[in-house]
Chains A and B, each alone.
Chain A
């Protein structure tokens, strides 16, 4: 299957005093995992729920699997799987009962046991939802989304608030779905999640797309692949930006809460130069770290803000 699974153009959604989505274009290709990345309140959930046919946009067009909301609702719903950001499933029903309930809504799909195996909840089939852990609940929500064997899977912050092990389990489920040819649209504020799962990413801020491409392309757009961060001893001021930019391979300099962040092309050329420069000025470091540039650095580069308020 080729072509587009989801297309939207000029999406706008206003609430009383906020514009949640401010003219957003998007195209998700069949068989890819597409990520919407953005800080709190960026408009990710609003966008996804418009695409899921749950919110009517004020302006703009949406096409899902070549069909349109309002005329083909039932047909679209048969073929998409949805996990909402904040659904709490019925407490007093068992895992198996809930998945069976959701299965009954669809004409075709997986057997209940099959889907419980996919999300590794087979052992918990007789357990009430109220007695599941956070990670297990989230996998149950995904089981309900997967039970119809959908063409498109919508995941709204599937791993927010989960421990690292639960996150990896969920990533495996998503990767397996993608490997069998499924299309995924997911939102997240975790960089590593987007870099690991997504073929392409749109960075969203204030209801608009501010960057768009594969994670590699986006990081490459920084023009430099590595990041050096250092902090100086109490009372010492870092060298002026121009002096640092003059060092070999340094692309960008940012000072933030006592730390200085440099974006550099090649670590082995820039790092010794930075250390030598600081020593020449008699400045002492209390901290020094380096990492590969991430989408977090990109977001910082684009907006001057961090994606998540730590």
Chain B
């Protein structure tokens, strides 16, 4: 194509405007890495905390405490009954043991931590009073790459990033041009409307390649995140995602007349997906009735597919469902956006 073809020039203009905006470069490239570092530190893998357990002061308390002192998994202290009760209520101890016959375990049955404390404490108590296990057991501990939080997080951050740049890069840019009457000025020239719209998609393709390479590269170098699938499959998924979100951005921008308006709409669209689509934690945490709805959100489809390729090495054939979801979003949003788009 000639260098002076309008499509080339329009795409170049989009690309230049994108990269000449220091904020953009920060949000697209630096922010996800900073977020990954912060979350990586907060949720780093480490030995489980020792469970805090209180023994209520009274007959037999001190001897029980002495017997439990050697238990690796527990941190035991003897407390007056009032103080012990207060700490249990505020969650500063997970379990209160009242010595006597029988031994009483007092805990909040809705707290996972307390259940663990009860099991561990009971194990130690029974053993301290002479229980012998009938079978020998051996433990094998693993910390496998690909099963850590950071490994889960990174593809999600990439998905979130593709959503953000797709919506902002297209939606905000279009509305900004409408507000500035630049859109009107372009319409007054013989520019083909299709060239204008396609230039956004083309500019996105170029930026997506950079975003993906940068984020995944940084993830592999800094955190040793594995990449088990094929590069081609990954590129196809990322591209489908980027185009689906470009379409959504265009749709949001198609009739919006103000920058505040488009800001509001974008947040309205993005916020639920940040939470529901399994970016920071698995979408499986939501109730079953919500799952069909969550599964067809574009960010869920994108995150699931990116994770499957990266962490499990899944091939394209097995990704039919998320790919169909993404392509459906892309086709639907572009079609409707073109129908209702306001040039002036």
**Residue positions of A touching B, CB distance < 8 A:** 52-55, 74, 77-78, 80, 82, 84, 86-90, 92-93, 97, 100-106, 128, 144, 148
Contacts and interface: CB of A to CB of B under 8 A. Distances in A.
Given A100-B4, A104-B5, A106-B190, A87 B13 contact: no
Contacts of A54: 184, 187-188, 344
B240 to A, nearest CB: 29
Nearest to B177: A90
B181 interface: yes
Contacts of B17: 90, 92-93
B180 A87 contact: yes
7 contacts: A54-B187, A77-B189, A84-B184, A97-B12, A101-B9, A104-B5, A128-B20
A12 B9 CA distance: 38
Contact of B185 (A78, A84, A92, A103): A84
Contacts of B344: 54-55
B182 interface: yes
A97 B181 contact: no
Nearest to A112: B4
For the complex of A and B, the 8 pairs showing the least CB-CB separation, nearest first, are A77-B190, A88-B180, A92-B20, A104-B9, A82-B188, A104-B6, A87-B185, A105-B191
Contacts of A74: 190
B12 to A, nearest CB: 8
Contacts of B4: 100, 103-104
A82 B185 contact: yes
Nearest to A128: B20
Given A54-B187, A80-B188, A104-B9, 9 more contacts: A77-B188, A84-B181, A84-B184, A87-B181, A88-B181, A89-B185, A93-B13, A97-B12, A148-B189
B76 to A, nearest CB: 64
A105 B185 contact: no
Given A87-B185, A90-B182, A101 B10 contact: yes
A101 B13 contact: yes
B13 A84 contact: no
B189 A82 contact: yes
A97 B12 CA distance: 9
Contact of A105 (B12, B21, B181, B189): B189
Nearest to A83: B185
Given A54-B344, A105-B190, A105-B191, A90 B181 contact: no
B181 A86 contact: yes
A54 B20 CA distance: 31
A53 B344 CA distance: 11
Interface string B1-38: 00011101110110011001100000000000000000
A92 B34 CA distance: 27
Contact of A90 (B9, B13, B184): B13
A97 B6 contact: no
B83 to A, nearest CB: 64
A97 B190 contact: no
A86 B182 CA distance: 9
A97 B189 contact: no
Contacts of A77: 188-190
A74 B187 CA distance: 10
Nearest to B183: A87
A115 to B, nearest CB: 14
Contacts of B189: 77, 82, 102, 105-106, 148
Nearest to A74: B190
A55 B184 CA distance: 10
A111 B225 CA distance: 52
Contacts of A86: 181
A144 B16 CA distance: 19
B256 to A, nearest CB: 18
A102 B182 CA distance: 12
A78 B191 CA distance: 9
A19 B52 CA distance: 79
B169 to A, nearest CB: 14
B277 to A, nearest CB: 32
A80 B10 CA distance: 21
Contacts of B182: 87-90
A212 B58 CA distance: 109
A90 B6 CA distance: 16
B204 to A, nearest CB: 18
Interface in B158-205: 177, 180-182, 184-185, 187-191
Nearest to B20: A92
Nearest to A55: B344
A250 to B, nearest CB: 48
B188 A84 contact: yes
